[in-house]
Amino acid sequence: MSTQTKATEKSTEKKHVSMYEAVLARFNTAAKLYNLPEDIAAMLVTPQKQVKVSLPVMMDNGKIQVFEGYRIVHSTHLGPSKGGIRYAPDVNDDEVKALAAWMTYKCAVAGLPYGGAKGGITCNPRNMSVGELERMTRAYTSAMSEVFGPNKDIPAPDMGTGKREMAWIVDEYSKIRREYLPGVVTGKPITLGGSRGREAATGRGVMIHTIEAMKKIGIDRKKASAAVQGFGNVGLNAAKLLSSKGIRIVAISDHTGAFYNEKGFDIDTAVKYAQKNNNVLQGFTGGDLISNEQLLTLDVDALIPAAIQNQINEENAHKIQAKLIVEGANGPTEFGADHILNEKGITVVPDILANSGGVTVSYFEWVQNQYGHYWKEEEVNAKHDFAMETAFEQVWFNSKQYKTSLRIGAYITAFKRLEKAIRYRGAY
């Protein structure tokens, strides 16, 4: 067998490592350290509700195509379940289950009165027309109309979805219920009850966590450099905001390529380029073309993986030179890489803390919908920044108290809240 075949086999093998198993591995590490009672742990290991639907959609060519849709409610112990909807070709129940569990911990870490859920449709939105996407989104909303609800389960954008899809969801759901219910979904356009500051919120949270972590570990942000992987909603806004705080963004990337510029990118120029270029960075001349692997292993102060899951793994973790990793994406680090990063002394601000700015402003959006009164952007941002700084401090404190990583410290922060809520609520 050639080495190449062996390598291919190995990577296929790796792909089959279940994401939910990786969630459980971290959960178990934290549960053991915190001494989480077994009955509470048992309630958090299995999702509360798992719904899978088939969605027949009339395609533009006149043929019906059937898509698979998921919504997994992991926990409602702290309140109605909350979490985004993902449109991507590799969406499957294991992935949605893992993402749903992360939402539970993320909401608990951020101190929100929400449980966790996630949804998704296995599809390739890049190859679909706007009409096809609208019909698929409405079919999904209709199929999930008993799952969703402003006080039940509240979706939001995730990979492959945005305010356009959220507008279709609120419209379809309100038609079914025969009343306008904007609180059923967050991440809506502002004219339909969306919140100011929601679009940039996840990136804004990444910026706050990067700055807070830099203060703790003694990096002078005015002299700091960062590499940002991903140029979607999270990466783009994180890069923009970090650079507005004086941090030099020396690398950016999207699925079409990665770029390096030692002097630092002017993010607005890159954004304008992408906007004119079908929303991709391909062909961008503001920096040298590098590989994705090179971006991850650059000699920078901070690395911000804000693209997709499983980017930092056992193969590349030992090559990472950044002192700080702030996980803008969900699950960008494989479980197996955790101990390598710890041993190298790299500070990792974990996803369930680092990207919780998005769901935090989703909560503010929902509150504004319940009130029917809307806040200024400065007000939203101030509330957001305070919530994120508080969450960061709590996770930092718990990681010190339990002498563990920020990742396990974040799980412990979540356990403290979840344990109390579950005990107060009781059981049959």
Residues catalogued as catalytic:
118
**Is 362 one of the binding residues for ligand GLU (CB under 6 A)?**
yes
Residue 294 φ/ψ region, left for φ over 0, alpha for ψ in the -120 to 50 degree band, beta for the rest: alpha
Q: Which one, 67 or 114, has the nearer CB to ligand GLU?
A: 114
Structure tokens at 111: 């101190």
Total residues belonging to the chain = 428
Smallest gap from Cβ 79 to ligand GLU, in A, equals 12
Structure tokens at 120: 């998704």
Smallest gap from Cβ 49 to ligand GLU, in A, equals 17
Q: Give the other-Cβ count within 10 Å of 58's Cβ.
A: 14
Angle (CA) 92-94-96 rounded to 5° is 70
Pick the piece of the chain touching ligand GLU (CB under 6 A) from 9-17, 25-33, 81-89, 285-293: 81-89
Sign of CA dihedral 270, 274, 280, 283: negative
Closest chain position to ligand GLU (CB): 84
Smallest gap from Cβ 359 to ligand GLU, in A, equals 4
Smallest gap from Cβ 332 to ligand GLU, in A, equals 12
Sole binder of ligand GLU in the list 48, 81, 141, 186 (CB under 6 A):
186
**Is 83 one of the binding residues for ligand GLU (CB under 6 A)?**
yes
Q: Which one, 158 or 301, has the nearer CB to ligand GLU?
A: 158
**Is 156 one of the binding residues for ligand GLU (CB under 6 A)?**
yes
How many chain residues interact with ligand GLU (CB under 6 A)? 12
Smallest gap from Cβ 106 to ligand GLU, in A, equals 6
Structure tokens at 290: 């590098």
- DSSP code of 185? -
- Please name the residues in contact with 289: beta carbons below 8 A apart, sequence gap of 6 or more: 257, 258, 259, 260
Helix 130-143 / helix 163-177 crossing angle, nearest 10 deg: 40
Q: Which of residues 198-227 bind ligand GLU (CB under 6 A)?
A: none
- DSSP code of 149? B
Question: Using CB under 6 A as the criterion, which residues of the chain lie in contact with ligand GLU when the complex forms?
Answer: 82-84, 106, 156, 158, 186, 330, 355, 358-359, 362
